[in-house]
Amino acid sequence: TGGGEREREMSRKGNNINAVFYAETYHPIQAGSIDGTDILPHDNGVYRALLCSSASLYDPFGDPKVIGDPYCTVFVGRLSHSTTEHTLNKAMSKYGNVKSLRLVRHNVTGASRGYAFVEFETEKEMLRAYKDAHHSIIDDSEIIVDYNRQQLMPGWIPRRLGGGLGGRKESGQLRFGGRDRPFRAPLRPIPFEDLKRLGIPPPPEGKYLSRFEVIPFFSSLISN
C-alpha cells in the first residue's frame, strides 16, 4: 500500500503543480499560508493581524480617508515612489473616467507609500482597469491592480496591521490568496477539522484554477 500511496501523491502533485485558488474571505492565518492550510501563525505579522481580527480592532468602514464607491474603485500597488497623482491619473484614464484618486503618502514626510486607490465613474470602467491595467508599466514600475478589498472582502485586515495580500519575498511578509499571489493547490492532506475549529475556510476539493488563468472570485461580486 505504501507504493500506491506514493503513486497517488505523485499523481496529485503532477495534476496540481500549476493549480491555484483564491480567498473569498480573509483569515490572517490562512493568508500567511502558501496553500491555505496552515493552522498556526508563522510570523509576528500574522499573529498581530490575528489579534486585531479576534478583538475586532479594525473597522474597514471607520477610515475617514476612504471615500467613494468601493464597487467602482481599484487598488493600485507597486507604484514607483516618484509617481505623482497627475501621472497616475493620466495612466488610469486610459480605462475610463477617473472620479477620484488617493495616492497614499506618509503622514509626516509626505512621501509616496507606493500604492493608491482610484475610483472610476462606473463599474464597467473599473472592471476594464482591473482586467487591463494589471502588470502594466508606470514610471518604469510594473504595477498590480486589484479590487478594493478593504470594504468588500469579509474579515479584511490591512498590511500595516500584519495582514494584507501579496508582497515581495524580501519583505519577509508574504500574504497569499489574492490576485498577485494566489494559494497553491494543497499537495498534502487538508486538515479539515482543525481549519473548521479555527473558522478558516478549507481549500476547495478538486475545483482549482490553472495558474495561467485569472478568474478571481471578484467576478461573482460584480456583474459585467
Query: What number does CATH give the domain 70-152?
Result: 3.30.70.330
Give the total residue count for the chain.
224
Tell me the average pLDDT across 192-216. 82
The phi-psi region of residue 139 (left if phi > 0; otherwise alpha if psi is between -120 and 50; otherwise beta) is left
Residue 15: predicted pLDDT: 54
69-74: average pLDDT: 95
Delimiting residues of CATH 3.30.70.330 domain(s) in the chain: 70-152
**How much of the chain exceeds pLDDT 70, in percent?**
86
Of 146, 145, 203, 208, the residue nearest 27 (C-alpha): 203
pTM of the model: 0.82
- Of 180, 183, 162, which Cα lies nearest the Cα of 76? 180
- Write down the pLDDT at residue 209: 81
